Amino acid sequence: DTGVSQDPRHKITKRGQNVTFRCDPISEHNRLYWYRQTLGQGPEFLTYFQNEAQLEKSRLLSDRFSAERPKGSFSTLEIQRTEQGDSAMYLCASSAQGEEDTQYFGPGTRLTVL
């Protein structure tokens, strides 16, 4: 069983550009989560999906962020008009309903906004 995969692993962009990240969860995991982590801090929750439904979104998430999971499999996270403060590691995790909420993380996408 392969783990969670994320693409790209690294992204460098200029301020004001749009970026999109992809996450492929562990197969048959119906819950998918996005987190953001900055240096010296623990991951911070952004949003989560159960199947294709986005069930929760952090109040800290600005309108420039949007996430989708159109077929209940992979998910994308888009950041529009990037700002330097968006520089962080973006982590995706997945879990299976009924497995005590255990979340497994992908390798992350490191975003640098110049």
Partner 1 sequence: QKEVEQNSGPLSVPEGAIASLNCTYSDRGSQSFFWYRQYSGKSPELIMSIYSNGDKEDGRFTAQLNKASQYVSLLIRDSQPSDSATYLCAVIMDSSYKLIFGSGTRLLVRP
Backbone angles phi, psi at 104, to 5 degrees: -115, 130
**Closest by CA position to 81, among listed 18, 6, 13:** 18
For the CB of residue 41, give the shortest distance to partner 1 in the complex, in Å: 6
1/101 with CB nearer partner 1: 101
Contact at 8 Å (CB) between 50 and 31? yes
Structure tokens belonging to residue 93:
């995790």
Residue with smaller CB distance to partner 1, 8 or 16 = 8
Name the minimum Å distance from CB 81 to partner 1.
Answer: 26
The residue among 19 and 31 lying less far from partner 1, judged by its C-beta, is: 31
Residues that bind partner 1 (CB under 8 A): 31, 33, 35, 40-45, 48, 56, 89, 91, 93, 95, 100-108
Amino acid at 23: C
Quick one: 19 or 93, whose CB is closer to partner 1? 93
The SS3 of residue 103 is coil
In the complex, least distance from residue 80 CB atom to partner 1, rounded to whole angstroms: 23
* Residue recorded with tokens 């979104």: 57
